[in-house]
Structure 1
Amino acid sequence: MPKLSEDRIADVLALLDSRLSYRQIAKRTGLSIGSISNIRAQYRPDIENLPAGRPPVLSPADVRHAQRLICSSKADTATKATSILRNI
């Protein structure tokens, strides 16, 4: 496999510094996710990983509000709390 040019590596590093995901960088550059991971490991080992997984549906304020509804007996079940939260 041919070595990557310094320009391509610089492009990947710039995209990594802008906090794009590996998938987004791969789509923009045409490189594999493994190549991007190797570049990051070699040139930017101190960069924090992006949070993995799906973002939460409820904000912390919504979770707290649902807890208050259930604890204050305004909602008996999670289903009732959900319907109240949707109507806010």
Structure 2
Amino acid sequence: MLPKLSDDCISSVLALLDSQLSYRQIAKRTGLSIGVISKIRTEYRPDIENQPGGRPRVLTPADVRHAQRLICSGKADTATKVTSIL
């Protein structure tokens, strides 16, 4: 259950959620906890998809295919050689 929040506070959180900001960024701007922001999203905007978490990929899919091609063709024997070529 949500704590008592003003309508202005909830509407500002919803506007920030609609602008695709992360929970952490919204928490810094509003002073609310990440848990409260999550509860507001669950109650008022259940259709918004969750943002992917974790570290972004270092290699693009094209880089991965190129590395596989280098190894299969014998142009690179080790990961170190692949790294130097990429």
> Does the alignment reach a TM-score above 0.5?
yes
Partner of residue 70, structure 2: 69
Partner of residue 78, structure 1: 79
Partner of residue 52, structure 2: 51
Q: 5+ unaligned residues in a row in structure 2: which ranges?
A: none
Residue 76 to residue 31, structure 1, CA distance change in 2 (3 Å): same
CA RMSD of aligned residues (A): 1.4
Structure 2 CA distance, aligned partners of 1:2 and 1:46?
A: 22
Partner of residue 7, structure 1: 8
- The count of residues paired between Structure 1 and Structure 2 equals 85
- Asked which structure has the greater RCO (Cα within 8 Å, sep 6+), the reply is 2
Q: 5+ unaligned residues in a row in structure 1: which ranges?
A: none
Structure 2 CA distance, aligned partners of 1:30 and 1:78?
A: 46
What TM-score, normalized by structure 1, do the two folds share?
0.90
Cα deviations by residue, 1:31-87 (Å, 9 ceiling, x for unpaired): 1000000100100111100001010011111111111111111110111101111xx
The letter of the residue matching 2:47 is D
Q: Which runs of 4+ in 1 moved over 2 A?
A: none
Residue 50 to residue 2, structure 1, CA distance change in 2 (3 Å): closer
Structure 1 CA distance, aligned partners of 2:3 and 2:80?
A: 57
The alpha-carbon deviation at position 2 of structure 1 amounts to 5.8
Matched position secondary structure for 1:80:
helix
What TM-score, normalized by structure 2, do the two folds share?
0.92
